[in-house]
Structure 1
Amino acid sequence: MRLRAYLAFVLLVSLGVGAWAWIVEGPPQLGPLALLVAMGVLSFQLREPAVSSRFGFSFLSIILLASAVITGVFGSWLVGVVSTAVDRDQRRWSATVFNMSMTGLVGASGAVVYRLVGGNTAPDTLVGPAELALHVGLPLVAADVVGCLVNALVIAGVFHFDQGVPFLVLVRSVLAGSGLAYIGYGVIGFLFVVLWYPVDLGASSALLIMAPLLAARWAFIQYGEEVRSHERTIDTLVTALGTKEPPAVPRSRRAARLAEWVAEELGLGPHQIETVRYAATLHEIGHLGVPTRLLRRAPEAVSVAERRVIDRHCVMGARMIEGIDFLEDARSGIRHQHERFDGGGRPDGLVGQDIPVAARIVAVTSAVEDLLEATGETQWDTDTAVVARALQSDPGRFDPAVVTAVLAVLEKHGRPHAASTGVSR
């Protein structure tokens, strides 16, 4: 219900901004508007959608920046709205309407800021690079920054109301992923305007600007491919574990989802959240080095010596992924998952905050998963008080802040499912 109200709010605000811009400025020139709309549609259709589990990239923001100068506030709003109106990959009309509303707001907000900070609406009258930089370049930088912030805030809102993730955590995540890209957007947008006006190429500048636009898309694709290669590596490792211990696959997926929620609840940064997710997904990878007969034996039938062998899985798991660069930070989360907050754990007897945060989170989330398996729960319908009592029954074992966060996200989300979890930006 809150999500629907938020989507309706974004739609109404966007429509209000568009109506205000029409009243204040009137219609833009049809020729430039049609060209920019066509370029916007093309950029949105050529977007790189699978950069992360939640977000994708397009270079539509470059077109919106140029529109701020060439077509004004209403033109920028309309370019944003129309460019995202057709989405061949989106099956939900509500998501399409949200994208239209959001990109309209991003375009209009950038155009408004461009004018507020003294941006020139007739750059062909400017003489020399100094005037261009002062009256076009700097205002476009301001418009770029504001567009980036509006994009982050609106996207964060929809995921906050849909998934319950803390709002500021989502804002930081969007900015961390797209902030550097927006710097490139500003440079290319400025180049587009310079070619259009001072160089006096007009609409022909679109042909020249396609080269850097396609280069930007290529960079997005490479980044997206790198992210996907990381996920394929993780999937390969989990699959290998599954050939030996099939139940470990859904268990790892659930633990990773729960750990990601907890990291978000704790307000960790985007890189830390990613590290936590990797560590939780692979927290049992060391079982590949444990004899299968021990893994299949009931806990009460395992001797003390055999328990020591099983418990070494965290050290073995950390060694197994050594040399995989993107998992380097996650190694400590795997190695130290059996440390105790009071210092009585293994393998190194770390105490309190000296234990890596990923390890402190994995320790609690894996314990929750073990508890649910032991009680035979297939759906989350148990009062979290049961989990709270279990986690707090051994004082000093877990980080109290992590325990509190786990209980909060279980109340908010319920038990995660094994399946892993987009909005374009």
Structure 2
Amino acid sequence: MRNRREGGGASATTFYLAVVVVAAVVLAAVATRVRPISAGPDLIAVLALALLAVAYPRVVVGDRVQLAISSIVMLAAQAVVGPAAVALVGAVVGPFQGSTWQGRVFNSAQFSFFGCLGGLAFLGAGGSLDPADLSGVGAVVVHLAIPMIVADVVQVLANAVLLSGMLRVAMGIPVRLQIGLLLRSTGAAALGYGVIAFILVVLWIPAQLGPFAALMVLAPLLVAHWAYSQHAEEVQGQQRVLEVLVAAVEAKAPHLVGHSARVAELSGHMAERLGLTPQQVADTRMAGMLHDVGQTSLPTRVVRELDLTGSVIGADYPAAGADLLGDLTFLHGALAPIRDHRTTPTTTSEDSLPTRIVAVADSWDLLTQVGAPGQRLHAPAEAREALAARPSIGDDLLRALDHALSRNPADEAVS
């Protein structure tokens, strides 16, 4: 049965890939009839910029900061060389991103399709492919700025749909869930890309700087890309240190393997749902990951016999964990939830919210995934009822928990 399912999945992936390739080719043909490709210095410059962007892939720091130079180039190209030429550019640079031939073909078709569709949307919204002829601010806004915004939105949506479709047939991830995740992670950044692309086009054509405009606009972005890359490496180094700490806990308590990661994921989604700031969300997620680190101060026998689903009377490991991590400055915002997540808060103020979030996420996973020594796991309904009975947990936290569980396909069995 397993081989049959794997074979079916491979067939579905190949079929989806073929559909995307055909769609990209058909759309490019339509775009060619609307505006044929014109070979010239502008097209050569755009191709060179797109290939340069491949050498500077998307940088992501945490869950928030993103910089993708390729998106800026593809959007600006829609007004500089037209939709058919953008399809060509996407087809050329796509194969440079991917580790397998299927991945390279998909990226090529994907880039070509969403770039060309964005270019057609630009024209459909009244965009001008001759920005040099635009006279006055009003004309620039109506025939360049607004159409570029429309193209930006269409390009982002098309990219999200195509990628989500591939993840659905290849890995079974629900399309709606994946589209939501992609839009939340790239939507705000896409607006910024649109502004930068608009400036690039204005300098390129109306200001008559030509390809030199790319140097003026993209050079600072390359410096920013380098800075973000350094930051990302620092964050990854910190993450590796934290993984070692979590691994130390799991080595003492094999029944807790995966517990910290699940609590961190639930805590982060709950914090987002409850409207905490990006820094508070990051701190809450970090606290969820490290909330059990203090157990490394206890003897292995004690750790394996702890009933974490109860009150753990006499166990002061949360405070020990906060003390252990106290010298790490990047964890200061996570220390209070780590120290206090096993205590009943005396207040339900916003300041205690990260602590309460970690406590709820921890309790849910303990009840439904870990369990007490020698006892059965709670069913989801039983666990939710048990949490609702606690005075420090209100409807807002329970709704946030429900939302967090819906965001995790791996937790479908307990949601």
* Counterpart amino acid of residue 79 in structure 2: V
What residue in structure 2 maps to residue 361 of structure 1? Answer: 361
Cα distance in structure 1, aligned partners of 2:235 and 2:13: 32
Post-superposition Cα deviations, 1:141-175, rounded to whole Å, max 9, x if no partner, equal 22223323333333344445555555445434333
Deviation at 1:59, TM superposition (A): 0.8
Structure 2 distance, partners of 1:390, 1:215, is: 51
In structure 2, which of residues 21, 24, 41 is the aligned counterpart of residue 11 of structure 1?
Answer: 21
8 A contact 2:132–2:205 mirrored in 1: yes
Aligned residue runs from structure 1 range 265-276, under 5 A? 268=273
Aligned residues: 386
Match of residue 391 from structure 2: none
Cα offset for 1:196? 2.9
Query: Would the alpha carbon gap of residues 230 and 316 (structure 1) be closer, same or farther in structure 2, given more than 3 Å must change?
Result: farther
2:51 is the alignment partner of 1:44: no
Structure 1 stretch 116-125 or stretch 238-247: which is displaced more?
238-247
Give the share of equivalent positions with the same residue, in percent. Answer: 22
SS in 2 for 1:35: helix
CA distance in 2, matches of 1:158, 1:52: 24
Q: What is the CA–CA distance in structure 1 between the aligned matches of 2:259 and 2:21, rounded to whole Å?
A: 35
Aligned to 2:186: 178
The equivalent residue for 1:314 is 318
C-alpha distance in structure 1 between counterparts of 2:155 and 2:301, whole Å: 56
Q: Distance in 1 between matches of 2:289 and 2:251?
A: 14
Q: Equivalent residue for 1:347?
A: 344
- Paired residues for 1:2-81 under 5 Å: 3-48=13-58, 51=61, 57-81=67-91
- Residue 199 of structure 1 is aligned with which of 201, 207, 226? 207
8 Å contact from structure 1 (residues 256, 277) kept in 2: no
CA distance in 1, matches of 2:81, 2:189: 23
Compare 312-321 and 106-115 and name the one that shifted more. 312-321
Separation of aligned partners in 2, 1:164 and 1:196: 44
Contact 1:119–1:139 (CA under 8 A) maintained in structure 2: yes
Deviations 1:114-166 (A, max 9, x none): 11221112112223444323322232222223323333333344445555555
Once residues 97 and 227 of structure 1 are traced to their aligned partners in structure 2, the CA distance between those partners, rounded to angstroms, is 29
8 A contact 1:241–1:249 mirrored in 2 = no
CA distance in 1 between counterparts of 2:110 and 2:255 reads 36
Which residue of structure 2 aligns with residue 229 of structure 1? 234
2:113 aligns to what? 105
Q: Are the equivalent residues in 1 in contact too, given 2:262–2:365 (CA < 8 A)?
A: no
Q: Is the alpha carbon distance of 1:324 and 1:266 closer, same or farther for their aligned partners in structure 2, counting shifts above 3 Å? A: closer
Give the Cα–Cα distance (whole angstroms) in 1 for the partners of residues 151 and 41 of structure 2: 23
How far, CA to CA, are the matches of 1:314 and 1:347 in structure 2?
A: 13
Question: Which whole-Å CA distance do the structure 2 matches of 1:323 and 1:94 have between them?
Answer: 47
Contact 1:126–1:132 (Cα < 8 Å) also in 2 = yes
Distance (Å, rounded) in 2 between the aligned partners of 1:118 and 1:158: 32
Alpha-carbon distance between aligned partners in 2 of 1:366 and 1:244, rounded to the nearest angstrom: 15
Asked if the contact 1:165–1:265 (Cα under 8 Å) also holds between the matched residues in 2, the reply is no
Residues 1:152 and 2:156 aligned together:
no
SS in 2 for 1:246: helix
Letter matched to residue 242 of structure 2: L
Tell me how far apart the structure 2 counterparts of residues 246 and 240 of structure 1 sit (CA, whole Å).
Answer: 10
Q: Which whole-Å CA distance do the structure 1 matches of 2:331 and 2:164 have between them?
A: 27
- Partner AA of 1:85 in structure 2: P
Q: Distance in 1 between matches of 2:167 and 2:182?
A: 11
- Unmatched 5+ stretches in structure 2: 1-8, 389-396
CA contact (8 A) 1:25 1:73 kept: yes
Q: Which residue is 2:217 aligned to?
A: 212
**Is the 1:41–1:84 contact (alpha carbons within 8 Å) kept by the matching residues of 2?**
no
Q: CA deviation at 1:411?
A: 7.2
Task: Determine if contact 1:253/1:281 at 8 Å carries over to the other structure.
Answer: no
CA offset digits 1:248-268 (Å, max 9, x no partner): 699465541576379779995
CA distance in 2, matches of 1:163, 1:336: 38
Match of 2:195 among 176, 187, 192: 187
Report the CA distance between 1:43 and its aligned residue: 0.5
What is the RMSD of the two structures over their aligned residues, measured on CA atoms?
4.5
Q: Does the 8 A contact of 1:333 with 1:362 survive in 2?
A: no
Q: Provide the rounded CA distance (Å) in 2 between the counterparts of 1:126 and 1:6.
A: 42
* Aligned residue among 382, 386, 406 for 1:392: 382
On the 8 A contact 2:131/2:205 being kept in 1, the answer is yes
The reply to whether residue 121 of structure 1 matches residue 148 of structure 2 is no
- State the distance in 2 between where 1:158 and 1:332 align: 41
Unmatched segments (≥5 aa) in structure 1:
339-345, 376-385, 415-425
Alignment correspondent of 2:299 = 292
Contact 1:124 1:198 in 2 (8 A): yes
Aligned partner letter, 2:293: I
Distance 1:178 1:197 in 2: 28
Instruction: Find the residue that maps to 1:396 and give its secondary structure.
Output: helix
Match runs of 1:377-388 below 5 Å: 387-388=377-378
**1:18 CA displacement:** 1.5
Report the alpha carbon displacement of residue 54 of structure 1 after superposing the two structures with TM.
Answer: 12
Give yes or no for contact 1:256–1:281 (8 Å, CA) kept in 2. Answer: yes
Q: Which residue of 1 aligns with 2:101?
A: 93
TM-aligned CA distance change 1:409 to 1:133, over 3 Å: closer
1:239 aligns with 2:239: no
